[in-house]
Structure 1
């Protein structure tokens, strides 16, 4: 990941902190926690690669895991440390480092790994594969990792309401049926969108065994305005939909067409 990505997250550290508080983004947060509870070992050492402001690290610490945070943005890492220490918890380490440099970490060390964020911003396929191989190296045998990609197919759905003007060019519609890369002049920063087929292939080529995969937004993907409206006007309905969406995030009829693709993998 480049300085462009680092600068974006430094400048938007507080925005990233609040993102998962949004009633729509809360679906992603709760689905991720559901996968952690379902697949992670109940105890052990975890590294959160691309930890951002520490939303997941904080929850893992509450569950008594030993947690190391690795984050490109110093400002986001500072927020994470203040939030964690503010509730009386303590992480093992705070590493301000690029995910491209996982070679600094010890082999076969972690019982579980979150790799959520870096794969969104690595435009070069060879570099992505290397990050995946390094993640495999530092994971203990039988360890579990959750690896996240941004999914073109789900972003196409979301784009109907979020950025529909770009679809005045028919080629832009077709473009989201495949992987895409954008620089900072054409997106919020340097960003890579995969498809489930391509993401699963990358992960397998790196040597992981795929245990499952999920669409973080489940059947609520692409209808952010409606979800937020329900949150404000009928919390019973919102809460019911949220519960079922989280529980069904791995179902094949939903998981291929959400904005965030979570791949659950194992080192065998």
Structure 2
């Protein structure tokens, strides 16, 4: 990252290089965040083939790749961040999974794989959200389709628009900048370098990101050759309540988790989640 360009930190590759182990830790650092992982792996259990070669596109530090390998799958993990690739290799090595998981650096908009190579494809946690230009998102989805064999499942999760708006409103007492940028964010659903420079100057608060409505995610995938099975909210009504949920006991947390599971495919619940998951098949 250029020292004289503080806005360079919101570039996804730079952001996740700087984040380091934080992305590995994210899915277990709180009860609310664990709902994203648990609900995602629940759908993987339901829709993955019994065996095969799986692509984990934008797989970062390897949480899902390791889970897949432990279930017996062969996995290729690809990520834009050199640091996340290095962490993934280290984590995979510690578990003696190198024979099952291949790790490489790359971009979901230009996948270095042949057509019909994978028996299922994952793009989880928001890699597609970090592609903020419309035609580039279209290109990325076409690439996911190209490398996945016919009738194979694909799993895509993105960051939710409604949840981020709610979070900025909730954070108003201690994050005035977020409230000031809300009108522009609502217009574009995108946190960009331009928005960061306009409102935050030398201190951008997040990585470049396009936030999705659930119908937008459905339309994007269906318009590029995927037949959707489900669209689900991974955190559901627990979105934006992380601190409060840490203060309740394990039984109460399980009650919340059960409610999230029961409601996750309700269209309204999906649309208000921090992360929205779509499960489909290649047509």
Task: Tell me the TM-score normalised to structure 2 length.
Answer: 0.85
Per-residue deviation, residues 13-68 of structure 1 (Å, max 9, x unmatched): 11111111122211111111111111111211101001111011111111001111
**TM alignment of 1:142-221, pairs within 5 A:** 142-162=151-171, 165-166=176-177, 168-169=179-180, 172=182, 175-176=185-186, 179-183=189-193, 185=197, 186-221=204-239
Identify the residue that residue 81 of structure 2 maps to in structure 1: 73
Per-residue deviation, residues 111-137 of structure 1 (Å, max 9, x unmatched): 111112321211111111111011111
1:69 is paired with a residue whose SS is strand
C-alpha contact (below 8 Å) 2:131/2:137 kept by paired residues: yes
Counterparts in 2 of 1:143 and 1:168: CA distance versus 1, 3 Å: closer
Identify the residue that residue 8 of structure 1 maps to in structure 2: 15
What root-mean-square deviation, in Å, do the aligned CA atoms of Structure 1 and Structure 2 show? 2.1
The yes-or-no answer on 1:139 pairing with 2:176 is no
Per-residue deviation, residues 195-251 of structure 1 (Å, max 9, x unmatched): 222222211121111111111102211212211222xxx111112322331343222
Per-residue deviation, residues 124-176 of structure 1 (Å, max 9, x unmatched): 1111111101111111111001112211112122333345634654x726843
Identify the residue that residue 97 of structure 1 maps to in structure 2: 106
Identify the residue that residue 54 of structure 1 maps to in structure 2: 62
Number of aligned residue pairs: give it: 262
Q: Please, which moves more after superposition, 218-227 or 178-187? A: 178-187
Identify the residue that residue 28 of structure 1 maps to in structure 2: 36
Which ranges in structure 1 are unaligned for 5 or more consecutive residues?
none
C-alpha contact (below 8 Å) 2:236/2:274 kept by paired residues: no
Identify the residue that residue 38 of structure 1 maps to in structure 2: 46
Distance 1:10 1:224 in 2: 25
Which ranges in structure 2 are unaligned for 5 or more consecutive residues?
1-7, 198-203
Counterparts in 2 of 1:220 and 1:177: CA distance versus 1, 3 Å: farther
C-alpha contact (below 8 Å) 1:216/1:260 kept by paired residues: yes
Distance 1:195 1:257 in 2: 8
Distance 1:18 1:130 in 2: 30
